[in-house]
Structure 1
Amino acid sequence: MSSDFTDDEAYEVVKPPKDLRKKVRIMSPREAKNFDPVKAAETALARLSQNFDGWMVNGSKELHEAYENLAANGINAETVGRLYQAAHNMKGQAATLGYPLVGDVAGSLCYLIEEVPSPSDLPKSLLAQYVDAIRAMVSENARDQQNALGTALLAKLNEVTNDYLSQVRTIG
């Protein structure tokens, strides 16, 4: 394996501006023995959980804004990229924030965007349906598979997406 650098090249070692070790409190042996990192993480998560709904609302707003940008400026690599990023963020955060069903819908939207041969092949109406579904699920607190309407909506979106992709692939 060759190296990108030769021994003769100059290099610079960059020191971080702050030494983070000064920010950490060292536990006494007794404290360390009684410390339960899982319990501490669960406690922190419980404190943060009061913000989860607001974070999901903000995520759905970002997704909607990305779609509105796409609708106003046309389907191109930039507008689709922004929509994809917003959907991908929701997909990644949804389960942690207590909305796994929304994560599944966002994941299906990401799959659609990833699988079309070109951004111009994306049907704006199907993108709108995904965005509307996610916004509705967040608004109506449709969190998981227990929500029959949300689950049926996901199944239909997946069906339409798969049908559309099979048509586009055979044409292309």
Structure 2
Amino acid sequence: MAEKSQGNGAYQLITPPNLLKAKVGKGGMSGIDPELIKRAEGVIDTMGDDFADSVTIEITRLMQLAMDLEDDPSKAEKVLKKARRIGHDLRGQGATYGYDLISDVASSLYRYAERLYSFAELNPDVLRAHADAMRAVIKNQVKGDGGEVGIDLVKSLDSLVEQMAG
């Protein structure tokens, strides 16, 4: 605590204790075993190998949703909710496992599902376009953002979403 004065009045400066620093220590990560971190990273790497299989399953589901919508437009609400969930889940997982482009495509799918004003606007071709893009990424094992081709792919999907869902 320190007494200070400014202008006509005096005030007291109170510095609260840094309780987090006391709990963690001065080294930042001193309370965490480095070997434990290394093992956790190994588990994530192993799970990354399975991620492509998980995406393939989600692609199949997305394609089935597009067919379900074509067969029975009254299923649009159910289809939209499931497509939104696929987009939500994959956009979070892709970057974790090194598939940033999957995250970007899934984000586009999620934005599409979020922007629709009515279930009747749901277009199976937009679902297929996102599924096809993800299939290409997994088939070609494209890690990261896919470079210039990946950027162009995401731009084209974003343009499609803008056109179809405003």
TM-score calculated relative to the size of structure 2: 0.69
* Alpha-carbon distance change, 146 to 81 in structure 1, aligned in 2, over 3 angstroms: closer
Does 2:21 correspond to 1:50?
no
In 2: Cα distance, 1:63 partner to 1:74 partner: 20
Taking every aligned residue pair, what percent have the same amino acid on both sides? 20
Task: Give the C-alpha shift of residue 37 in structure 1.
Answer: 4.3
Select between 53-62 and 147-156 the one with higher mean Cα deviation.
53-62
The Cα shift of 1:87 comes to 1.9
**Could you tell which deviates more after superposition, 38-47 or 73-82?**
38-47
The Cα shift of 1:39 comes to 5.5
Structure (1 or 2) with the larger CA radius of gyration: 2
Counterpart-to-counterpart distance in 1, 2:47 and 2:162: 35
Paired residue total: 134
Deviation per CA, 1:87-129, whole angstroms, max 9, x where unpaired?
2111111111111111011011100011010122022111100
Give how far 1:153 is off: 0.8
Equivalence for 2:61: 65
CA contact (8 A) 1:56 1:94 kept: no
- CA 1:74–1:41 in 2, change beyond 3 Å: closer, same or farther? farther
User: Match for 1:54: what amino acid?
Assistant: D
Aligned residue identity for 2:133: A
1:101 aligns with 2:97: no
2:62–2:131 CA contact under 8 A, matched in 1: no
**Superposed counterparts of 1:10-159, under 5 Å:** 36-37=32-33, 40-72=36-68, 73-75=71-73, 76-159=76-159
**Residue range with higher mean Cα deviation, 153-162 or 39-48:** 39-48
Q: Is the 8 A contact 2:67 2:124 kept in 1?
A: yes
**Alignment check: 8 A CA contact 1:98 1:143 kept:** yes
2:15 alignment partner in structure 1:
none
Deviation at 1:38, TM superposition (A): 5.8
Decide whether the 8 Å contact of 1:99 with 1:143 is kept in 2.
yes
Is the Cα contact below 8 Å between 1:67 and 1:83 reproduced in 2?
no
Q: TM-score, normalised by structure 1?
A: 0.67
